[in-house]
Structure 1
Amino acid sequence: MVELGIGVFGFFSSFLIHTVQNLFIHANLGLLAVVTFILLIFPTFLMGMTLPLLTSFFNHFIENIGKSIGMLYFYNTLGAAFGSLATGFILFNYMTLSETIYLAAILNVTISVLVFSLYGRKKYEK
């Protein structure tokens, strides 16, 4: 559900960014900061939940939890670094910011659907 929430927010984020920009273009900088904070707290909270939820999930199934969580954090950090570099140096050469945001949203929703279907299938098989 967390990835789905991130993906859904991603679909609306370009619209929200442009709306806030147009509505508050002449606003006080403090007001703009507060509105931006309110706008970004939900997806940021969801993104921050992903690793603790994965950690909790792995805690139930893996014997050597310390090494597994360390590897999970390693791959998460590696993926974040790779994603940032790929976006900055590759995607932005071929796509606009809005298109890149939509691509990320599509990936999040796709991952959510795949996980739901795999989890549902595993649950049904038991």
Structure 2
Amino acid sequence: MIYFYQKQFTIFYLIQKLILSGKKRKTGNLVLNFLILFKRKNKDYLYNLEKIIIKLMVFFTFKMKKINTSIYQVPQPIIYKKSLFKAISWLVKAIKNKSKNKISTYKKLYLECDNILKQQGKALINRILIYLTYKK
């Protein structure tokens, strides 16, 4: 469970990840509009945002270990903060590649979050393909 100060940190990191060419005010408005839209559609929006981030988080990865002549994939835990950063960066990458239509970015962010809650979405697919497959 993510506590309140961690939720604020999550929103802060989302703002930092979305900053484009130093337009902090525009990015703050973008995240504010996203949270307003998310709150309007979902009653418990902070809980749903927490669920989205947890679905995107990866808590372990596989490292290659060579023992004698054999090569094994050994699971290694990932630090909580690093997995949180990775989840938010996947979410931002998915909304940047979401569509070529002229939909505003906060609506793309809302649609991607809605798709993740339905077990779909590009960010969730990227998580599965990138982190849970064979690594060299």
Higher helix share: 1
Using structure 2 for the length normalisation, give the TM-score.
0.33
Which protein has greater RCO, CA pairs closer than 8 Å, 6+ apart? 1
* Rg larger for: 1
Higher strand share: 2
